[in-house]
Each structure stands twice: as structure tokens, then as C-alpha cells.
Structure 1
Amino acid sequence: MTLPDTTSAPDIANAGSPASLPATVGVLGGGRMGAGIAHAFLLAGARVHVVERDAAAAGQARERVETALARSVERGTKIPDADFLTTGDDADAFAEAGLVIEAVPEDRDLKLDALARIEGAVRGDAVVASNTSSISIDALAASLGRPERFLGLHFFNPVPASALVEVVTGSATLPGVVSAATNWVEAIGKTAVVVRDAPGFASSRLGVALGLEAIRMLEEGVASAHDIDTAMELGYRHPMGPLRTTDIVGLDVRLGIAEELERAFGARFTPPALLRELVAQGHLGRKTGRGFYEWSE
């Protein structure tokens, strides 16, 4: 892969071609999702700054991204030079970024703090995005000084294998920002769907509804986890059943989204007791080795 020239600042007004990318992209939060997002933009030729809460967490974030890049090399993908990636704990590193994405855990207060930290560091023409999977973009935008340059970019886990990004528009988001974000999604080799700000957007609302019902069926002894998933995979051609998907997403993540949707829509999104029990026991899915399935390295 030949890397594009990344020396010029992004021009949102002219971000009309799939090749357009900000020269520098920032990611606040270097966990599984943040590292995956950083990996995607690095492969597309952007310089990426990943900022974490402290130096130790920043080092772990760098290790995650470098591991993902190494896997790309194993698959024959050419990757950028090492200096295209920087990590640290100072949000001032975002000063030259044209796009900064927060990728902290799905907690409203954490995200509000992260977005305030970002907006205090970026230049006035930068686009700020949240990777939230369920929290209202307008609710997050209410605390920002430039809500017109803010939107949701909902990536899916695992980011390298996922083809989709939801572009979530707030009521104040400028059309040019939506257009630029859509082009950027295409530039990193993914497909964008544009949705209006609503609880759970499109994917989380539908995916969680299916997942919660599958958990209730398991709880009631209707069928085993394997047979419930197989029914959806073979009967409806889902690439993966709802319980295995929940394990990959993370039971804690699914619980947080369900609680957010329950506040918005009521009892139809009330989390099943089994989900709460597994999360309380620390069985969060693939990342902990056990959820609805047993996982091994």
C-alpha cells in the first residue's frame, strides 16, 4: 500500500473523494475499540495520536495498536512507518488533528469528561466524534462549545474485521461535517450508514433487542446457547448468533446499552437477570475467557 501525502491539513469543504483523510487523527482511549480505530486510520495513511489516562495505559495502548499492525503485516498489508503512531497522556497532542474520536467506555460521565478534554485541546475547525453505541449525540453535544462540529462515529468490535460505521448526526451537526465523516469512513475501507440521533441509533437498538431476547430464551431453558445461535445462523443467515455476538461485544457493554435503552423505551429493554448475574461475576465474554461460551486464546 502506498501511503498518501499527509502533510497538508484537512479541508472539510473539499473532502469529497474517498481518498480524503485528515492528515492527523486523534483517538482518546486506547482500549480494544480505540486501538482498533487507530489501526484503521493508520492503515489508510493518517498520522494517529492515541491519548490515554496515564503513561502506563498509553504504553498498553501502543502495544495493542502495534500488535494489530503486526497482524496486518502477516496478512501482507504494507503499514506506515512507526513514527505515524504516537501515544501519550496529554490531550494537547490533539492540537493539529483534523478529527478526534473519543473511545472511552460506554458511560455518559466518562464520555462528557473525555469530550471536554478533547474540545479544550483541538483547533476550531476540527471535527470531534464519539464512538458511543447508544448515548444520545445531542445529550453529549449539549456540553460542547462547538456542537455543529460534533457527531457520532460508531465503530464495531472488532474494528479490523468490521465493515460498518454508523455516522450519527446530531440536531446541530453541519451537513458538511456529515459529508466529510462519511468520506473518511469510506477512506478507511468501511461502509458508512447515516442515522439520525435516537436512542441506540439503528444497529444497537436492533442488535440489543435480539440479544436480550436470546438471553431470556437461554434463561428460560428454551434451548442451549449453541442451538439458539445456530437457529439464527442457519435459519436467518446471520453470520453469527446473538449470544456469541454478545460475548464478542462484551456482556458489560451490552448491559450498559440495554440500561440506556431501558431509560428511553421502558421495559422491553430491561436487562435479563442472567445478563446482570454474569456481569457481576466478571464473566464478560471473550475478553475474560467466559460469557455464554468458554473462550480460549
Structure 2
Amino acid sequence: MTTIKKIGIIGAGQMGSGIAQVCAQAGYDVVLSDISDAVLEKALANIGRNYDRQIQKGKLEEAEKTAALGRITTGTDLSVFGESDLVIEAATENEALKRDLLKKLVPHLKPEALIATNTSSISITRLAAATDRPAKFMGMHFMNPVPVMQLVELIRGIATDEPTFNAIKELTLAIGKTAAVAEDFPAFIVNRILLPMINEAVYTLYEGVGGVEAIDTALKLGANHPMGPLELADFIGLDTCLAVMQVLYEGLADSKYRPCPLLVKYVEAGWIGKKYGRGFYDYSQTPPVPTR
């Protein structure tokens, strides 16, 4: 079984930087890559702030923060992954983009290196086919925000071998996460259940059954959810929600997964959630105000 000591991560956004944070804190050497130094600098600053919050809560020592940050190196070229034992792809949820990245990645890897994808919905088997090592490829779907959420879905492709699965499962436990094993069906377990619920909440809004606040209040108090489905959609990103629903709709050919037209309209308008300032809520105001 491959011994994982050095982990490469493609993508320094919210997911990639979160994965880098937990891996470095668990003692692994991490190489984080993205398209620009500015993005990487922002990611490192965010990781540092997250460590600071842990220090304030008494969960981390200053020396541990310094050591963890010292284990993270960065680069804008895929050649930085030459010594990585595992590379985790955490790019945008777009299959064509991911396949292209994976094809460009493999020439830089050592023969025994493993690859994992953080996709939330796309076929592991199809993505694996874009590489030269489908047996050493699998899904490792972290939840957002990575430092807080305990779950990692582990998904084998049709060709994933047992040593690869065991190595990734061992890593998952070593970074303090809990593994849930899912089969390679569209959206796996969490999003197969969660995103249709969010999509139905958008339909409920679209059809005028309730307003944004009423829908979120009803689910928070009526189903004891910590966050309403429309607020959660904004947090996830409406573009990501739409992408997952499209994967479900196309992959399972069932009309119950048809993305709500209102969700499509919001994405077309660029109103794609909290990190962009506007989604089902307008975040330019405090507290945020419903947009419908």
C-alpha cells in the first residue's frame, strides 16, 4: 500500500484551502496549486486566520500553527506535484475542466502516485478514464467547510484497486474525518439527498407557496434544520447547486431531478450566493435581505 506523506492539492479556493489546512495540521506536507500567486496568497491568509480562530478557542497552540503553515508550499505549475504521493483535485465542479486538468497532471506524477477528486457529483469512473492510472484513482468528497465538517465520502470508480481505497481511507481517518463509502452513482449519497431538497425549496419559492424567509423558517423550526434550504443554497453556491442537479437529471434520466427554472435564472443573473454578495439573500445589507 502506498504510504502517503506528501499531498498535492489542485485548487486553492474554499475547498482546496480547507483540505490543505486539515492535512497540514495533521502533519502532512502539502503542495497547494492554483492559477495565480494572488489566489495562493489569499488562500494562505485564510488558512492562517482559521488557525488563529482555533488558537482563540484553545484548540491549537501558536507553535502548532507555525509548524502547520511551514508544511504548506505553493506553486502555479502542475510540475510542483512531482514528489507528491497523492494529488487531490479540488477545482470547480465542471467535468470538462476537471478532465483537462487531470490529463495535464499525469505527466508530472511519479508512477506510484495516487489521485483523488473532490467532485461532489461527477462520475469517478469517467474522470479516472482521463488519467493514465484508473486503478489509482478515486473520489474523496469533502464537505464544506472542510475544517468543520466531519464527513468525507469515499467513492471507488469501476477500476479503483483495493490498495488505493485502503490508503485513502487510512488518510481520511488520520486527518480526523469520518468516512462514508458511496457507490459511483450521480451525486453519491449526501448530494443525491440534499440537492433535490434544495431544488424543491426553490420550486416552492418559484410557485409562490412561500417567500424566502417563510421557507427557511419553516424548515429550520419545522424540521429542526440548523440552516434553511435557501440560505444553505447560497452558502453552497447556486452555480454548484445547479451543476449537481444537472448531473442528477442527465445521469438518472428522471424528471424529478429537473433543475427549477428559477434556480437557472438566478445563476444566469450571476446571483450565485453568499461569496458573490447576492443569491436568495442580498448580503450587502446586515442582516441579509431576501431577494424574492
Q: Indicate whether the TM-score tops 0.5.
A: yes
Residue type of the partner of 2:198? G
Q: Which residue number in structure 2 is paired with residue 161 of structure 1?
A: 148
Q: Which residue number in structure 1 is paired with residue 119 of structure 2?
A: 132
Q: Distance in 1 between matches of 2:170 and 2:83?
A: 20
Q: Which residue number in structure 2 is paired with residue 8 of structure 1?
A: none
Q: Distance in 2 between matches of 1:24 and 1:88?
A: 15
Gaps of 5+ in 2: 287-292
Q: Which of 188, 202, 225 is equivalent to 2:175? A: 188
The reply on whether 1:226 has 2:213 as its aligned counterpart is yes
The reply on whether 1:278 has 2:243 as its aligned counterpart is no
- Structure 1 length normalisation: TM-score? 0.88
Gaps of 5+ in 1: 1-10, 16-21
Q: Distance in 2 between matches of 1:180 and 1:230?
A: 43
- Which shows bigger deviation, 41-50 or 285-294? 285-294
Cα distance per residue 1:239-295 (max 9 Å; x no partner): 322212111100011111111212112322221121112112221111112211233
> Secondary structure at the residue paired with 1:96?
coil
Residues 209/60 of structure 1: CA separation in 2 closer, same or farther (3 Å cut): same
Question: How many residues align structurally?
Answer: 279
> Secondary structure at the residue paired with 2:49?
helix
Q: Distance in 1 between matches of 2:281 and 2:148?
A: 21
Residue type of the partner of 2:258? T
Q: Distance in 1 between matches of 2:162 and 2:222?
A: 40
- Which shows bigger deviation, 161-170 or 65-74? 65-74
Q: Which of 96, 99, 103 is equivalent to 2:86? A: 99
Cα distance per residue 1:219-239 (max 9 Å; x no partner): 111112233233333333333
Q: Which of 62, 66, 87 is equivalent to 2:74? A: 87
Q: Distance in 2 between matches of 1:110 and 1:73?
A: 37
How does 1:29-48 map onto structure 2 within 5 Å?
Answer: 29-48=11-30
Q: Distance in 2 between matches of 1:242 and 1:179?
A: 35
After TM superposition, which residue ranges in structure 1, 4 or more long, deviate above 6 angstroms? none
The reply on whether 1:242 has 2:224 as its aligned counterpart is no
- Which shows bigger deviation, 65-74 or 145-154? 65-74
Q: Which residue number in structure 2 is paired with residue 118 of structure 1?
A: 105
- Which shows bigger deviation, 207-216 or 92-101? 92-101
Q: Distance in 2 between matches of 1:97 and 1:75?
A: 33
Q: Which residue number in structure 2 is paired with residue 263 of structure 1?
A: 250
Q: Distance in 1 between matches of 2:35 and 2:210?
A: 43
Check whether the contact 1:42–1:80 (CA below 8 A) recurs between aligned residues. no
Q: Which residue number in structure 1 is paired with residue 283 of structure 2?
A: 295
Q: CA deviation at 1:65?
A: 2.6
Check whether the contact 1:50–1:87 (CA below 8 A) recurs between aligned residues. yes
Q: Distance in 1 between matches of 2:97 and 2:261?
A: 26
Q: Distance in 2 between matches of 1:162 and 1:295?
A: 24
Q: Which residue number in structure 2 is paired with residue 146 of structure 1?
A: 133
- Which shows bigger deviation, 182-191 or 64-73? 64-73
Q: Distance in 2 between matches of 1:92 and 1:70?
A: 31
Q: Distance in 1 between matches of 2:107 and 2:179?
A: 28
Q: Which residue number in structure 2 is paired with residue 3 of structure 1?
A: none
Q: Distance in 1 between matches of 2:37 and 2:251?
A: 37
Aligned-residue CA RMSD (Å): 1.8
Q: Distance in 1 between matches of 2:206 and 2:272?
A: 17
The reply on whether 1:53 has 2:40 as its aligned counterpart is no
Q: Which residue number in structure 1 is paired with residue 290 of structure 2?
A: none
Q: CA deviation at 1:80?
A: 4.5
